[in-house]
Structure 1
Protein backbone atom coordinates (compact mmCIF):
# COMPACT_ATOMS: atom_id res chain seq x y z
CA UNK A 1 0.00 0.00 0.00
CA UNK A 2 1.37 3.39 -0.99
CA UNK A 3 1.74 5.90 1.83
CA UNK A 4 0.20 9.34 1.57
CA UNK A 5 2.22 12.54 1.48
CA UNK A 6 0.83 13.31 4.93
CA UNK A 7 2.05 10.00 6.38
CA UNK A 8 5.48 10.44 4.82
CA UNK A 9 5.74 14.04 5.99
CA UNK A 10 4.86 12.98 9.55
CA UNK A 11 7.43 10.15 9.47
CA UNK A 12 10.06 12.53 8.12
CA UNK A 13 9.24 15.07 10.82
CA UNK A 14 9.77 12.40 13.50
CA UNK A 15 13.23 11.69 12.08
CA UNK A 16 14.11 15.39 11.96
CA UNK A 17 12.78 16.03 15.47
CA UNK A 18 14.94 13.16 16.78
CA UNK A 19 18.00 14.82 15.22
CA UNK A 20 17.00 18.20 16.68
CA UNK A 21 16.46 16.69 20.13
CA UNK A 22 19.89 15.02 19.98
CA UNK A 23 21.60 18.27 18.95
CA UNK A 24 19.76 20.18 21.67
CA UNK A 25 20.70 17.62 24.34
CA UNK A 26 24.36 17.65 23.26
CA UNK A 27 24.39 21.40 23.82
CA UNK A 28 22.42 21.40 27.07
CA UNK A 29 19.37 22.97 25.42
CA UNK A 30 15.72 22.05 25.32
CA UNK A 31 14.07 21.73 21.92
CA UNK A 32 12.29 25.03 22.55
CA UNK A 33 15.57 26.74 23.48
CA UNK A 34 17.02 25.39 20.23
CA UNK A 35 14.08 26.94 18.39
CA UNK A 36 14.80 30.28 20.07
CA UNK A 37 18.39 30.19 18.80
CA UNK A 38 17.19 29.30 15.31
CA UNK A 39 14.61 32.08 15.28
CA UNK A 40 17.10 34.67 16.51
CA UNK A 41 19.85 33.71 14.03
CA UNK A 42 18.53 36.09 11.41
CA UNK A 43 16.09 38.39 13.17
CA UNK A 44 15.65 40.49 16.31
CA UNK A 45 11.96 40.27 17.20
CA UNK A 46 10.11 41.93 19.99
CA UNK A 47 9.39 39.64 22.90
CA UNK A 48 5.70 39.45 21.95
CA UNK A 49 6.56 38.40 18.38
CA UNK A 50 9.00 35.76 19.65
CA UNK A 51 6.33 34.38 21.97
CA UNK A 52 3.83 34.26 19.11
CA UNK A 53 6.33 32.55 16.81
CA UNK A 54 6.98 29.91 19.47
CA UNK A 55 3.27 29.51 20.21
CA UNK A 56 3.83 30.42 23.85
CA UNK A 57 2.37 33.03 26.15
CA UNK A 58 4.60 36.01 26.80
CA UNK A 59 5.54 34.91 30.34
CA UNK A 60 6.72 31.47 29.14
CA UNK A 61 8.78 33.04 26.37
CA UNK A 62 10.19 35.50 28.90
CA UNK A 63 11.32 32.59 31.07
CA UNK A 64 13.06 30.98 28.10
CA UNK A 65 14.79 34.25 27.31
CA UNK A 66 15.77 34.69 30.98
CA UNK A 67 17.56 31.32 30.90
CA UNK A 68 19.29 32.18 27.62
CA UNK A 69 20.36 35.58 29.01
CA UNK A 70 21.80 33.84 32.08
CA UNK A 71 23.87 31.61 29.75
CA UNK A 72 25.10 34.65 27.85
CA UNK A 73 23.39 33.59 24.61
CA UNK A 74 20.71 36.27 24.30
CA UNK A 75 20.31 39.93 25.16
CA UNK A 76 17.27 42.11 25.70
CA UNK A 77 17.24 45.70 24.43
CA UNK A 78 14.60 48.41 24.38
CA UNK A 79 12.82 48.64 21.03
CA UNK A 80 14.09 51.72 19.20
CA UNK A 81 10.59 53.01 18.47
CA UNK A 82 8.91 52.04 21.76
CA UNK A 83 10.79 52.12 25.05
CA UNK A 84 8.19 49.86 26.65
CA UNK A 85 8.79 47.03 24.15
CA UNK A 86 11.76 44.68 24.34
CA UNK A 87 13.77 43.39 21.38
CA UNK A 88 15.51 40.03 21.75
CA UNK A 89 18.76 39.21 19.96
CA UNK A 90 21.66 36.78 20.07
CA UNK A 91 24.96 37.71 21.65
CA UNK A 92 28.21 36.76 19.93
CA UNK A 93 28.22 33.57 22.03
CA UNK A 94 24.65 32.90 20.95
CA UNK A 95 25.55 33.32 17.28
CA UNK A 96 28.51 30.99 17.73
CA UNK A 97 26.39 28.31 19.42
CA UNK A 98 23.63 28.67 16.83
CA UNK A 99 26.17 28.16 14.04
CA UNK A 100 27.72 25.15 15.78
CA UNK A 101 24.33 23.52 16.35
CA UNK A 102 23.31 24.24 12.76
CA UNK A 103 26.46 22.45 11.58
CA UNK A 104 25.74 19.50 13.89
CA UNK A 105 22.20 19.22 12.54
CA UNK A 106 23.40 19.47 8.95
CA UNK A 107 25.96 16.72 9.56
CA UNK A 108 23.35 14.49 11.21
CA UNK A 109 20.84 15.00 8.39
CA UNK A 110 23.42 14.67 5.58
CA UNK A 111 23.03 10.87 5.24
CA UNK A 112 19.26 11.25 4.89
CA UNK A 113 19.41 14.12 2.41
CA UNK A 114 22.35 12.47 0.64
CA UNK A 115 20.05 9.69 -0.53
CA UNK A 116 18.84 12.21 -3.09
CA UNK A 117 20.85 13.51 -6.00
CA UNK A 118 21.56 17.24 -6.32
CA UNK A 119 18.55 17.90 -8.59
CA UNK A 120 16.19 16.08 -6.21
CA UNK A 121 17.66 17.97 -3.24
CA UNK A 122 16.93 21.28 -4.97
CA UNK A 123 13.42 20.10 -5.82
CA UNK A 124 12.83 18.98 -2.23
CA UNK A 125 14.05 22.37 -0.97
CA UNK A 126 11.67 24.12 -3.37
CA UNK A 127 8.71 21.96 -2.35
CA UNK A 128 9.41 22.32 1.37
CA UNK A 129 9.75 26.08 0.90
CA UNK A 130 6.35 26.15 -0.77
CA UNK A 131 4.85 24.22 2.16
CA UNK A 132 6.27 26.72 4.65
CA UNK A 133 5.11 29.90 2.93
CA UNK A 134 2.34 31.53 4.95
CA UNK A 135 -1.02 31.24 3.14
CA UNK A 136 -1.54 34.99 3.31
CA UNK A 137 1.98 35.87 2.06
Structure 2
Protein backbone atom coordinates (compact mmCIF):
# COMPACT_ATOMS: atom_id res chain seq x y z
CA UNK A 1 0.00 0.00 0.00
CA UNK A 2 2.88 2.32 0.79
CA UNK A 3 4.32 1.77 -2.70
CA UNK A 4 1.01 2.53 -4.39
CA UNK A 5 0.73 5.80 -2.45
CA UNK A 6 4.27 6.75 -3.47
CA UNK A 7 3.52 5.98 -7.12
CA UNK A 8 0.21 7.87 -6.99
CA UNK A 9 1.95 10.85 -5.41
CA UNK A 10 4.67 10.88 -8.07
CA UNK A 11 2.14 10.64 -10.90
CA UNK A 12 0.11 13.48 -9.40
CA UNK A 13 3.22 15.62 -8.93
CA UNK A 14 4.41 15.01 -12.50
CA UNK A 15 0.96 15.77 -13.91
CA UNK A 16 0.66 18.94 -11.84
CA UNK A 17 4.07 20.14 -13.00
CA UNK A 18 3.29 19.40 -16.64
CA UNK A 19 -0.11 21.11 -16.50
CA UNK A 20 1.50 24.06 -14.75
CA UNK A 21 4.16 24.23 -17.46
CA UNK A 22 1.48 24.20 -20.16
CA UNK A 23 -0.18 27.19 -18.51
CA UNK A 24 3.02 29.07 -17.63
CA UNK A 25 4.58 28.53 -21.05
CA UNK A 26 1.90 30.79 -22.44
CA UNK A 27 2.97 34.14 -21.09
CA UNK A 28 0.11 35.70 -23.04
CA UNK A 29 -3.56 36.42 -22.60
CA UNK A 30 -6.01 34.12 -24.40
CA UNK A 31 -7.96 35.72 -27.25
CA UNK A 32 -10.62 33.01 -27.53
CA UNK A 33 -11.96 29.74 -26.21
CA UNK A 34 -12.73 26.35 -27.75
CA UNK A 35 -14.89 23.41 -26.81
CA UNK A 36 -14.46 20.10 -28.64
CA UNK A 37 -16.34 16.80 -28.81
CA UNK A 38 -14.45 14.02 -30.59
CA UNK A 39 -14.83 10.29 -31.25
CA UNK A 40 -11.57 8.35 -31.40
CA UNK A 41 -11.26 4.93 -32.99
CA UNK A 42 -8.50 2.61 -33.98
CA UNK A 43 -7.29 -0.71 -35.25
CA UNK A 44 -3.61 -0.39 -36.24
CA UNK A 45 -3.99 3.18 -37.51
CA UNK A 46 -6.09 5.45 -35.36
CA UNK A 47 -8.37 8.28 -36.26
CA UNK A 48 -10.78 10.74 -34.82
CA UNK A 49 -13.69 12.81 -35.99
CA UNK A 50 -15.80 15.44 -34.31
CA UNK A 51 -16.52 19.10 -34.01
CA UNK A 52 -16.48 22.05 -31.73
CA UNK A 53 -17.03 25.72 -31.23
CA UNK A 54 -14.55 28.58 -31.30
CA UNK A 55 -15.59 31.65 -29.30
CA UNK A 56 -13.74 34.71 -30.61
CA UNK A 57 -14.61 38.39 -29.98
CA UNK A 58 -17.97 37.41 -28.50
CA UNK A 59 -19.07 35.34 -31.52
CA UNK A 60 -19.33 31.55 -31.81
CA UNK A 61 -17.89 29.75 -34.84
CA UNK A 62 -18.63 26.03 -35.32
CA UNK A 63 -15.90 23.81 -36.76
CA UNK A 64 -15.27 20.20 -37.74
CA UNK A 65 -12.16 18.18 -36.99
CA UNK A 66 -10.43 15.03 -38.17
CA UNK A 67 -7.31 13.46 -36.76
CA UNK A 68 -4.87 10.69 -37.54
CA UNK A 69 -2.38 8.83 -35.39
CA UNK A 70 0.17 6.22 -36.40
CA UNK A 71 1.27 3.21 -34.38
CA UNK A 72 -0.75 0.63 -32.48
CA UNK A 73 -4.28 1.92 -31.85
CA UNK A 74 -7.11 -0.26 -30.56
CA UNK A 75 -10.50 0.75 -29.23
CA UNK A 76 -13.19 3.40 -29.34
CA UNK A 77 -13.58 6.37 -27.05
CA UNK A 78 -15.28 9.75 -26.77
CA UNK A 79 -13.27 12.79 -25.79
CA UNK A 80 -14.44 16.24 -24.78
CA UNK A 81 -12.07 19.16 -24.32
CA UNK A 82 -12.15 22.83 -23.45
CA UNK A 83 -9.39 25.37 -23.59
CA UNK A 84 -7.97 28.71 -24.52
CA UNK A 85 -6.82 30.02 -27.89
CA UNK A 86 -3.74 32.21 -28.31
CA UNK A 87 -2.14 34.18 -31.18
CA UNK A 88 -5.36 34.34 -33.23
CA UNK A 89 -5.89 37.67 -35.00
CA UNK A 90 -8.67 36.70 -37.43
CA UNK A 91 -11.00 33.70 -37.63
CA UNK A 92 -9.43 32.76 -40.98
CA UNK A 93 -6.22 31.81 -39.13
CA UNK A 94 -8.00 29.13 -37.07
CA UNK A 95 -8.59 26.39 -39.68
CA UNK A 96 -5.58 24.21 -40.47
CA UNK A 97 -3.60 21.27 -39.16
CA UNK A 98 -2.76 21.41 -35.48
CA UNK A 99 0.14 19.34 -34.15
CA UNK A 100 1.49 18.87 -30.63
CA UNK A 101 3.58 21.83 -29.57
CA UNK A 102 4.51 20.31 -26.19
CA UNK A 103 4.11 17.00 -24.42
CA UNK A 104 0.64 15.95 -23.42
CA UNK A 105 -0.41 14.42 -20.14
CA UNK A 106 -2.97 11.73 -19.42
CA UNK A 107 -4.12 11.09 -15.88
CA UNK A 108 -6.21 8.29 -14.46
CA UNK A 109 -9.94 8.56 -15.00
CA UNK A 110 -9.52 9.81 -18.55
CA UNK A 111 -8.33 13.34 -17.68
CA UNK A 112 -5.56 14.97 -19.69
CA UNK A 113 -4.24 18.03 -21.44
CA UNK A 114 -2.17 19.13 -24.40
CA UNK A 115 -0.92 22.15 -26.27
CA UNK A 116 -1.37 22.29 -30.06
CA UNK A 117 -0.26 24.76 -32.74
CA UNK A 118 -1.28 25.15 -36.39
CA UNK A 119 0.70 26.41 -39.38
CA UNK A 120 -0.65 29.95 -38.78
CA UNK A 121 0.88 30.07 -35.30
CA UNK A 122 -2.48 29.71 -33.51
CA UNK A 123 -2.13 27.82 -30.21
CA UNK A 124 -4.78 25.82 -28.33
CA UNK A 125 -4.15 24.88 -24.70
CA UNK A 126 -6.65 22.04 -24.02
CA UNK A 127 -7.92 20.14 -20.98
CA UNK A 128 -9.71 16.91 -21.90
CA UNK A 129 -11.86 14.06 -20.56
CA UNK A 130 -12.05 10.67 -22.28
CA UNK A 131 -14.61 7.88 -21.84
CA UNK A 132 -14.29 4.41 -23.32
CA UNK A 133 -11.49 2.05 -24.25
CA UNK A 134 -8.55 3.51 -26.16
CA UNK A 135 -5.09 1.95 -26.29
CA UNK A 136 -2.83 4.25 -28.27
CA UNK A 137 0.86 3.41 -28.58
CA UNK A 138 1.35 5.84 -31.44
CA UNK A 139 1.74 9.57 -31.88
CA UNK A 140 -0.82 12.09 -33.06
CA UNK A 141 0.35 13.23 -36.46
CA UNK A 142 -2.22 15.97 -36.90
CA UNK A 143 -5.66 17.33 -36.11
CA UNK A 144 -7.20 19.09 -39.10
CA UNK A 145 -9.83 21.75 -38.42
CA UNK A 146 -12.23 23.11 -41.04
CA UNK A 147 -14.84 25.78 -40.38
CA UNK A 148 -18.49 24.62 -40.56
CA UNK A 149 -20.89 26.53 -42.73
Same fold judged by TM-score > 0.5?
Answer: no
Q: Which has the higher contact order (CA 8 A, sep 6+)?
A: 2
Question: Rg larger in 1 or in 2?
Answer: 1
* TM-score (norm. length: structure 1): 0.32
